[in-house]
Amino acid sequence: MLTPHKTQWGITIYQKWIQSFNLNYPVGSKFLVWLSLHMLLLKYCPLESRIANLVGKLLGVDLTNNTKCSPRFCVVLDLDVRWVAKVDIAGLDCKVEVLINYE
């Protein structure tokens, strides 16, 4: 079970050890990662947390997001699932691609 904790090094997670764990095939393992949303139009900024939550479970938000053109978020991702490179947003007037940059 994923358990996020705040430590002196930031947010960390502890996972129950699995005896059959294989480093080359980490089934069920989770990873915390910071990502930023590129090419996000201003009109979609109120939805930025929801967009980040589409990529992975949202754990944290960069407190300086309101001063950045590419907002940052901390999300939990599965190591055994392919990470998305972009999120498509369909608006009333157009379809927009938001690029995901993993840090």
Where exactly are the structural domains of the chain?
Answer: 3-14+25-102
**Alpha carbon separation from 73 to 22, 24, 29 (Å, rounded):** 29, 27, 20
Average pLDDT of the chain?
80
Dihedral sign of CA atoms 44, 45, 50, 51 in order? positive
Amino acid at 40: L
Regions of the chain with pLDDT less than 70: 1-4, 11, 13-14, 26, 67, 91-92
Segment 33-59, tens digit of pLDDT: 889 888 777 777 788 888 899 999 898
Contact (CB, 8 A) for 4 and 48: no
Contact (CB, 8 A) for 36 and 64: no
Percent over 90 (pLDDT), the chain: 5
- Report the SS3 class of residue 72: strand
